[in-house]
C-alpha cells in the first residue's frame, strides 16, 4: 500500500464510522417523541389479584392488563371506585384499562361484590 491509499482508506473508514454512529441516535430520539412510554402491568385474576399490590409513580402512564383465569362469578367485574372505573372481565380474555394520570395516594380495586381486593399505590415523585 502506498501512502496515498493508506490516507484514502483512513478517510473512508472514519466517514463510515461517523455515519453509522449518527443513525441509531436519530432513530431513538424520533421514537421517544412519537410514543411516550406507557408501563403495562399484567394482573392475573384467579380467586384474587396477582399482584395484589401495584406500585407506580405519580405522573407515570400506566395501563393495567387484567387476565382473568377463574370462572367464579365473584371476580367477573373489577371496580376502581375512586376512579369511576368498572369493567367486565371475561375469563381468558385480557382486558386493558388505561389509567388516567393519578395523584399520589392509594387506590383500591375490588370485585363487583367487594370481596376480593387489590391496591394501586401511587408514589409521590421525588424532586
What CA–CA distances, in Å, run from 76 to 21, 71, 82, 127?
52, 8, 19, 40
CB of 114 to Cu ion, least distance (A): 7
Nearer to Cu ion, 56 or 111 (CB): 111
Contacts of 62 (CB under 8 A, 6+ apart): 38, 39, 40, 41, 56, 99, 102
- Reading the block at residue 83, the C-alpha cell is 376512579
Catalog residues that contact Cu ion under the rule CB under 5 A.
74, 111, 113, 115
CB of 110 to Cu ion, least distance (A): 8
Q: How far apart are CA 46 and CA 75, in angstroms?
A: 8
CB of 48 to Cu ion, least distance (A): 10
Nearer to Cu ion, 43 or 111 (CB): 111
Nearer to Cu ion, 22 or 115 (CB): 115
CB of 29 to Cu ion, least distance (A): 47
Nearer to Cu ion, 60 or 70 (CB): 70
Instruction: Fill in the DSSP letter of residue 5.
Output: H
Amino acid at each position: 500500500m502506498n501512502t496515498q491509499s493508506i490516507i484514502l482508506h483512513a478517510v473512508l473508514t472514519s466517514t463510515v464510522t461517523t455515519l453509522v454512529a449518527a443513525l441509531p441516535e436519530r432513530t431513538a430520539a424520533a421514537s421517544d417523541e412519537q410514543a411516550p412510554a406507557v408501563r403495562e402491568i399484567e394482573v392475573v385474576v384467579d380467586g384474587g389479584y396477582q399482584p395484589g399490590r401495584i406500585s407506580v409513580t405519580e405522573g407515570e402512564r400506566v395501563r393495567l392488563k387484567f387476565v382473568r383465569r377463574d370462572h367464579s362469578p365473584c371476580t367477573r367485574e373489577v371496580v376502581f371506585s375512586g376512579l369511576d372505573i368498572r369493567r367486565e372481565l371475561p375469563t381468558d380474555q385480557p382486558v386493558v384499562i388505561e389509567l388516567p394520570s393519578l395523584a399520589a395516594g392509594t387506590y383500591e380495586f375490588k370485585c363487583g361484590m367487594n370481596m376480593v381486593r387489590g391496591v394501586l399505590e401511587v408514589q409521590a415523585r421525588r424532586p
